[in-house]
Amino acid sequence: MGEIEERIAEKGLPGKFDYLEHPADVYIRAYGKDIIELFENSGLALFETMVDTSKVEPLVEKVIETEGFDLENLLYRWLEDLLTLYYSENLVFSEIIVKEIVIEKKNGDIYYRLRGLCKGEQYNQEKHEPRVEVKAVTYHLMKIVKDENEWRAYFVLDI
C-alpha cells in the first residue's frame, strides 16, 4: 500500500471498500450484497478518501437523481454528481442511501436511473480532517462485477 492509501485507510471500512495499488491515483474496490449497497459504499469510499466521514454529521440532506446507459456509466455519473456537490456546495457526506436503481426504456434504448439521498454537512477543514483532494472520477480500470455472493465495483479517482 502506498503513502496516499495509508493516509486514507486509517479508519478502514472492511466489507464496504478497500484501496488497491495504483502508481499515481486512488484505486478503489467497493463491495455490496446487492447493487444498491454497492453504489452506497462506492459513494462512501469517495468521501472517505477526502475526509474522515466519522466526523461528518447528517445536518443537510440532498436528493440526487442521475442516469446512465449502463451500470459503469451510472456509477461514473453517480460519483461525479457527489463530487460536484463537494465542489459546488462545499458539502461532505457520511450517510449515502440509494433509494432505487431502475432499468427503463427511453426512445427504444435501455438506461439505468438512480435516486439517492445523501446526508452530511458543510466541509470544515478543522473538523473533518482533510485527506486527499480528489480532482475527478475516471473510467480508467472501472468495472462492476457480480458473483454468487456479492457485487464489486472497481474505479480510479484522479488526485
pLDDT (tens digit, 9 = 90+) per residue, 94-120? 999 999 999 999 889 999 999 999 999
Residue 49 lies in a domain: yes
Q: Is the pLDDT of residue 11 over 80?
A: no
> Would you place residue 15 in the very low, low, confident or very high pLDDT band (cuts 50, 70, 90)?
low
Instruction: Give the structural domain span for 16.
Output: 3-154
CATH of the domain at 115: 3.55.10.10
What SS3 state is found at 116?
Answer: strand
pLDDT (tens digit, 9 = 90+) per residue, 24-61? 999 999 999 999 999 999 999 999 999 999 999 999 99
Instruction: Give how many domains the chain has, as a whole number.
Output: 1
Kindly report the pTM of this predicted structure: 0.90
Distance from C-alpha of 32 to C-alpha of 42, rounded to nearest angstrom:
9
- pLDDT of amino acid 70: 96
